[in-house]
Amino acid sequence: MEFSNTYFDNASTSWPKPAEVGDAMKHFIHQIGGTYGRAAYGRVFQTSRIIEECRNTMADVLGVAEAGNIAFTTNATYALNTIINGLNLSGGEVLISPLEHNAVMRPLQRLSQTKNIKWKLLPAGKDGRIIPEKIPEVLTPSCRLVIVNHQSNVNGVIQPVEEIRSYIGSIPFAIDVTQSLGGVPVEGDKWGVDFIAFTGHKGLLGPAGTGGFFVRNPEMLDPFIYGGTGSRSESFEMPGFVPDKYEAGTPNTVGIAGLLAALQNKPDTLWTNDFFNEILHRIRRIKGLKLLAADHFEHQGSVFSIAHGSVPPSTIARRLYDRYRIEIRSGLHCAPLAHQSLRTFPSGTARFALSPWHTNDDLESLAQVIEEILT
């Protein structure tokens, strides 16, 4: 079997990155190197232009008109913590999808212990995809927030965000696009979501340590971190305007320069959805194997998992690496709730996540090697 790329762990972090990402970061370090918004000389102006250009470009990618309502953070986990902790949820309920990551579950667990909040699952099918028309069955007047993982990092299921909004009315609505952004269109304004948490190092092909969130109405969300912003320095209070309200401390200027380069140099995807679906059908037919994917492949992203009745996920991963140097992640993928919902807890699964660099030939070879090590 021939592979052009044996890295299938892009749900953890994408690789390879466009060459322009490293070039931009190197150029920034050696030729620019200024801070952001904290002085009035050339390097600072150059740095600030890069960051604001990245903010504007991110607005296009997120499908939102108000770029100023995007705040940069170090990752989506930081962004989700800001959203969850910055709202007044005390004594209320939070509705979530059954496929949430620990970036949502651990902050909610803490608030359940300290702020008396309760979380409940939205109604969903066996694959974890939410059934919008059943939402009224679990919706109560005490619901303060709805959180949905747009694309699962375990089975790749894509959630019907726009339909969910139509059933929850004006309740604040947050989506986590960590896995979908860069591979699935996101239309924040059209969907009417209030918060979007994102990361730069996965589908966007940017560097680690980059991410952020969009907030539709900054008045409803308090900061999570307090500190210097370079603005209103005479006051001990955080500025009340965006993005300064959420960007305490010096940002990752080098990383944001790399993220901008990634956004400007995204490669065309070499594999096709139709062929990918054929491969999933083929893998699903392997005896003794359970394919974790969308029940209907039109709802499928570029992530899927497998579990086998007699071969543990860690053994699958080890065989793939030892025999073919194929790199994947096995286990629970920081998403125990998803595995509980999909009935693969506590052993987890062997997970595969594509990138634009893979080809249809790579997918054909992948199906062959999975068949070989499990039959």
Helix 42-62 / helix 253-264 crossing angle, nearest 10 deg: 50
Residue 120 is assigned to a structural domain of this protein: no
Q: What is the pLDDT of residues 25-66, one digit of tens each?
A: 999 999 999 888 888 888 999 999 999 999 999 999 999 999
pLDDT at 37: 81
Which residues on neighbouring strands pair with residue 214, listed in sequence order? 70, 196
pLDDT tens column, 186-199 = 999 999 999 999 99
| Assigned domain for 132 exists | no
The 10s digit of each residue's pLDDT in 148-158 is 999 999 999 99
Per-residue pLDDT at 234: 81
Task: Find out whether 269 and 280 touch, Cβ atoms under 8 Å.
Answer: no
Residues 255 and 340 in one domain: no
Three-state SS for 87-146 is CCCCCCEEEECCCCCHHHHHHHHHHHHHCCCEEEECCECCCCCECHHHHHHCCCCCEEEE
CATH at residue 36: 3.40.640.10
Q: What is the pLDDT of residue 40?
A: 85
Does residue 70 share a domain with residue 195? yes
Mean pLDDT on 239-247: 91
Q: So what's the pLDDT on residue 229? A: 85
**Same domain for 369 and 283:** yes
Total number of domains constituting the chain: 2
363 and 278, same structural domain?
A: yes
260 lies in the same domain as 202: yes
Last residue of a domain, one of 266, 281, 300: 266
- Phi, psi dihedral angles at 289 (to 5 degrees): -105, 140
Give yes or no for a contact between 183 and 199, defined as CB atoms under 8 angstroms apart.
no
Secondary structure E strands in the chain: 70-73, 93-96, 118-121, 143-149, 173-176, 195-199, 211-215, 289-292, 303-308, 329-331, 349-353
**Would you say residue 1 has pLDDT above 80?**
no
Using a pLDDT cut of 90, give the percent of the chain over it. 93
- Does residue 227 fall inside a structural domain? yes
Mean pLDDT across 304-313:
97
Domain containing 353 equals 273-374
371 within 8 A of 286, measured Cβ to Cβ: yes
> Facing residues of 73 across strands?
211
* 235 and 288 share one domain: no
For the record, the structure tokens of 91 come out as 């004594």
pLDDT tens readout for residues 319-358: 999 999 999 999 999 999 999 999 999 999 999 999 999 9
Phi first, then psi: give them for residue 197, nearest 5 degrees: -100, 135
Question: Which CATH number fits the domain that encloses residue 285?
Answer: 3.90.1150.10
Average pLDDT of the residues in 86-108? 97
In a domain, 148, yes or no: no
User: What does pLDDT average to over the chain?
Assistant: 96
Q: Residue 262 above 80 pLDDT? A: yes
266, 289, 322: which is the final residue of a domain? 266
What is the 8-class DSSP label of residue 59? Answer: H
Taking the model in full, what pTM does it have? Answer: 0.96
Q: For residue 231, what pLDDT is reported?
A: 83
Whether residues 247 and 277 fall in one domain: no
Could you tell me what percent of the chain has a pLDDT over 70? Answer: 100
